[in-house]
Structure 1
């Protein structure tokens, strides 16, 4: 667990997710899905069975090349960031990063803090050599942060998502450790 401060000086705890956080995580994802079109799911589309999700969280905790971090402000999740990796020998060096911050807390520095902690964790786990992520081509705020942290664009997936009647391209980005 790590204490950190937002730009507005509120204290945030960053900690690894446990199965006890499962219900709150599902609820968070279902809310933030309605706050932005930059996620792969919309409002109330993060449909997970609570027991299966608890198992997923616990199995992720057991993997040496995967982790889920929570940013918590006054006992409320305000951000979730993860690196999930294959357990297959040929692919276990690549971690796929996902991050979401609640709309109310965007611009307060929590995304950067979560990313920095994930990068530090990946650099020191002895397995991860590449962190990969995908983001919509027009998600300029996120792309700017990723590039500041050393990520580079590897390619583009054309018409990769369809939202409100429009197709969007997706950048594939990576950080080599």
Structure 2
């Protein structure tokens, strides 16, 4: 694969539902760093399309898709509550197909999320959890300004049942 990729980023829309389901299944197979449960992987096309429509209309939730040659290769999301007291807190998630690691797409997606949060003026805190062993992701998050707030012992579980520590990281949005 060449070092230069032509990448297109945009918010997900209901028409992306089928392709998104396929990419989510591939992502779940490629890495054990993700926290993706079975119901998310078994979502019907109709359910996914409805979820995407709701995300697109939400002032504090979003899902961005990265395309290379018309193919979805990465996802970046912010999930937040509608409850007033915590509606300013967005949980960040980023996933890239393994073939596209190391090309700067994670940085590009994170920059887009942060810009979206800043422009929306509703979110004031972005947070995420990341497995302590996922040094590549931790480096990205720190580069983008996230700081470690806590270590959560046994915050995740591996496929073989072993407990894993995770960091809680945050970024304040001004």
Q: TM-score range by the shorter chain?
A: over 0.9
- TM-score normalised to structure 1 length: 0.92
Map of 1:93 onto structure 2? 88
Map of 1:48 onto structure 2? 43
Cα separation, partners in 2 of 1:171 and 1:7, compared to 1, 3 Å: farther
Shift of 1:45: 6.9
Structure 2: give runs of 5+ residues left out of the alignment.
none
CA distance in 2, matches of 1:167, 1:10: 37
Q: Which runs of 4+ in 1 moved over 2 A?
A: 41-45
- TM-score normalised to structure 2 length: 0.93
Which of 158, 161, 165 matches 1:169? 165
Map of 1:61 onto structure 2? 56
Q: Quote the RMSD (CA, aligned, Å).
A: 1.8
Cα deviations by residue, 1:98-142 (Å, 9 ceiling, x for unpaired) = 110000000000010000011011011010100011110111000
CA distance in 2, matches of 1:61, 1:74: 23
CA distance in 1, matches of 2:9, 2:75: 9
Cα separation, partners in 2 of 1:26 and 1:8, compared to 1, 3 Å: same
Shift of 1:42: 7.6
Which of 23, 28, 42 matches 2:18? 23
Which of 99, 119, 144 matches 2:139? 144
CA distance in 1, matches of 2:32, 2:13: 27
In structure 2, the residue corresponding to 1:150 is in which secondary structure? coil
Query: What number of residue pairs does the alignment pair up?
Result: 172
Shift of 1:32: 1.1
